[in-house]
Amino acid sequence: MSCCGFFGCFCVFTVLVQLFCGVFRFIYQQIIGPALYGSSVDFKKYGGWALVTGATDGIGKEYARSLAKRGLNIILVSRTLSKLETVAKEIEEQFNVQTMVIDVNFTSGLEIYDKIKEKIKGKEIGILINNVGMGTVAPDYFLAVPDRDQMIPDMVKCNALSIPMMCSIILPQMFERKRGLIINISSLSAIVPAGCLTVYAATKSFAHKFSEDLAMEYKKHGILVQSVVPGPVATNMTRLKKGTWMAPKADVFVESALKTVGIAPYTTGYYPHAILQLAAQWSKFLVPTYMSNMTLKTMENVRNRAIKKGIYTPFSQ
């Protein structure tokens, strides 16, 4: 066999091995692992308290409820005190755990982190859920987004800056105890084409990248860091009212995502979303222009429906 022939065979063999490993890893992390081991994770081993940001609605509220159901005391951090107190009361009465509420607006300045740091003194926080986030009323082209000059810094502070700042507060005590769990909620838009969601997708990309590298740094110190990259979930933020197979209700999504802890360093959290991710990434690899155009067209259709319903008005230059 010639050198060229040998090299060609080696390349084909390498690609096939990578494909096999990738498919096996996908099946194990998304289906087999969660099914076999996902329900046996002892979340209380990390510490007595879990802190959840963006905890009064949607995914954040369900993470708080699910962890309370598993016996953890919950610190709820969000913007509106009345909502925080309502959710805290529900959790205490239903799961017989302690709660604490901290009302801060993550689009504000760095002073909010001093408030959080002061409030949590003396609390053994073993789990941190960085869930807080904001989006736009509807997807749109960058220059057509209303109040763009205010939206950009607000979204960066809420979706991106909040994550390393909260880790900076909580990680030291985890490092000292040599155990802890940090879950950062990113988005599928971080890793697939996301035209008309430019700033949102970029901030979620930051969340995903930060999580991957922080996990690398602190795994040897007993600290798990997981990036969760969900697709559509029926929440107030997405304005999806009813859960479906592809867009589940928040409680269904969270229970599924928690079963991947310790199994997948990053996950969509819900296997239909994993299938969606796989299809999008393969399409991007095989037909990148078609994939980008298709996702852009989809976002344009969502935008146009929002305009027609009267819930969104784009900026007109």
**Residue numbers annotated as active site:** 200
d(CA 186, CA 279): 19
Token digits for 1? 């066999």
DSSP state of 120: T
* Cα torsion through 116, 118, 122, 128, rounded to 10: 10
Q: Are 306 and 292 in contact (CB under 8 A)?
A: no
Q: Are 34 and 256 in contact (CB under 8 A)?
A: yes
Q: Is the dihedral of CA 218, 192, 63, 248 positive or negative?
A: negative
Please tell me whether residue 186 adopts helix, strand or coil conformation: coil
DSSP string, 71-95: T-EEEEEES-HHHHHHHHHHHHHHH
Question: What are the residues facing 73 on neighbouring strands?
Answer: 49
CB atoms within 10 A of CB 196: 22
Among 54, 112, 111, smallest CA distance to 84 is for 54
Which residue carries 């504000």 as its tokens?
108
d(CA 201, CA 139): 11
Token digits for 165? 């700042």
d(CA 190, CA 201): 5
